[in-house]
Amino acid sequence: MSAIDSLPPLREVIATHQLSARKSLGQNFLLDLNLTAKIARQAGDLSNCDVLEIGPGPGGLTRGLLAEGARRILAIEKDPRCLPALAEIAEAYPGRLKVINGDALEIDPLAYLTPPIRIAANLPYNVGTELLVRWLTPSDWPPFWQSLTLMFQREVAERIVARPGSKAYGRLAILAQWRAETRIVLSLPPEAFTPPPKVSSAVVHLSALPEPRYPANAAILSRVVAAAFNQRRKMLRAALKGMTPDIEDRLTAAGIAPTERAEQVSLEAFCALARELDR
Ligand code: SAM
């Protein structure tokens, strides 16, 4: 019998440990182990990697990640009620699962993990976006992680992978695609979760590029993109006029028509503009 088979079904785990879902912690659990195994497979080859999992809850995805061969997992869970269920998993996989009871926004995973590191999570959506932005904006690139496999509400997933010319295209797309390869790898209906959330979800896989796709200063690029998309309906010459008095010339020098709107401008062109403003 493999380790995963020795563990009780997740519905039983929830009942035994009385893990009624708490809305305040964004708890929508995945109880189908075939599904969590499928998500774990999207994280890539785990056999030589340490994995950081945020919000393991009763441990469905954790089990999938271990069964997929993760070398070692650090799982950070805020809800202490989940700890006994996670301890059972740790016992079934000796030395491979460390659980910390705490807030993922406050814990440094590098104190526990050794690269290469992959990150996987089915997280509350608000925490997920905040962590994603942090993981994408470290002080140095490449980051400590090799890939991120994260559940988001469908609409946020679409914003991460969006291309120019679409409504979903904006700061998140540029931030993510500048330094990572991004793909939606799985779509899930509300009924996949217990209890079901109001909206559909999707798993996004991001793999870190060794260096940014186009050269640019990160702080300048971030400022230009924020200003451009804060007034996304305005022409860029108006939206960006606060940045420099000769913005029209700078836009033209970067190969962007001053009458364009942010939504139409490619990542490459935004990087060219950031370089132009860095002269
Ligand atoms: N991964 C489990 C699954 O797929 O069934 C649980 C998913 S549930 C959407 C989100 C989990 O994240 C919950 O267990 C919740 O307690 C935990 N959580 C919420 N905020 C957190 C935070 N700031 N740090 C760590 N865990 C958090």
How remote is the CA of residue 106 from the centroid of ligand 1, in Å?
Answer: 14
Question: Is residue 239 assigned to a domain?
Answer: yes
For the whole prediction, is pTM greater than 0.90? yes
Q: Which atom of ligand 1 is nearest to the CA of 28?
A: 9
What residues are designated binding site? 28, 30, 55, 77, 103, 122
Is the domain of 117 the same as that of 226? no
Cα dihedral 239, 212, 49, 105, rounded to 10, equals -30
Is the domain of 129 the same as that of 56? yes
Is the domain of 53 the same as that of 128? yes
Distance CA 212, CA 141 (A): 8
80-111 residue pLDDT tens? 999 999 999 999 999 999 999 999 999 999 99
Q: CATH no. for residue 274?
A: 1.10.8.100
Token look-up 């590191």 returns 117
Is the domain of 61 the same as that of 154? yes
Is the domain of 185 the same as that of 61? yes
Percent of the chain with pLDDT over 70: 98
Distance CA 124, CA 113 (A): 23
Question: Is residue 1 assigned to a domain?
Answer: no
Is the domain of 67 the same as that of 42? yes
pLDDT value of position 6 = 83
Question: Is residue 135 assigned to a domain?
Answer: yes
How remote is the CA of residue 229 from the centroid of ligand 1, in Å?
Answer: 31
**Cα-flanking dihedrals φ and ψ of residue 265, to 5°?**
-90, 130
Question: Is residue 4 assigned to a domain?
Answer: no
Answer whether 59 contacts ligand 1 (Cβ < 6 A): no
pLDDT value of position 3 = 61
Which of the listed residues 34, 36, 54, 99 should we mutate to test ligand 1's pocket, taking the one with most ligand atoms within 8 A of CB?
Answer: 54
For 152-178, give one letter per residue: b (16+ CB within 10 A) or e.
Answer: bbeebbbbbbbebeeebbbbbbbbbbb
Instruction: Give the model's confidence band at 124: pLDDT under 50 very low, under 70 low, under 90 confident, else very high.
Output: confident
What residues are designated binding site for S-adenosyl-L-methionine? 28, 30, 55, 77, 103, 122
**Listed residues 208, 231, 258: the one ending a domain:** 208
**Listed residues 208, 231, 263: the one ending a domain:** 208
Is the domain of 181 the same as that of 269? no
pLDDT of 201 > 60? The answer is yes
Question: Is residue 86 assigned to a domain?
Answer: yes
pLDDT value of position 5 = 64
- With contact defined as beta carbons under 8 Å apart, do 79 and 25 qualify? yes
**Listed residues 208, 236, 270: the one ending a domain:** 208
pLDDT value of position 194 = 96
Instruction: Give the model's confidence band at 12: pLDDT under 50 very low, under 70 low, under 90 confident, else very high.
Output: very high
Answer whether 160 contacts ligand 1 (Cβ < 6 A): no
Answer whether 271 contacts ligand 1 (Cβ < 6 A): no
What does pLDDT average to over the chain? 96
pLDDT of 270 > 60? The answer is yes
* For residues 73-81, average pLDDT: 98
Is the domain of 89 the same as that of 168? yes
* For residues 61-75, average pLDDT: 97
Give residue 225's domain range.
Answer: 218-278
Q: CATH no. for residue 92?
A: 3.40.50.150
ipTM for the predicted complex comes to 0.99
Answer whether 104 contacts ligand 1 (Cβ < 6 A): yes
Is the domain of 196 the same as that of 225? no
Is the domain of 226 the same as that of 112? no
Instruction: Give the model's confidence band at 168: pLDDT under 50 very low, under 70 low, under 90 confident, else very high.
Output: very high
**Cα-flanking dihedrals φ and ψ of residue 253, to 5°?**
-65, -30
CB atoms within 10 A of CB 201: 24
Answer whether 26 contacts ligand 1 (Cβ < 6 A): yes
What domain count does the chain have? 2
Is the domain of 166 the same as that of 83? yes
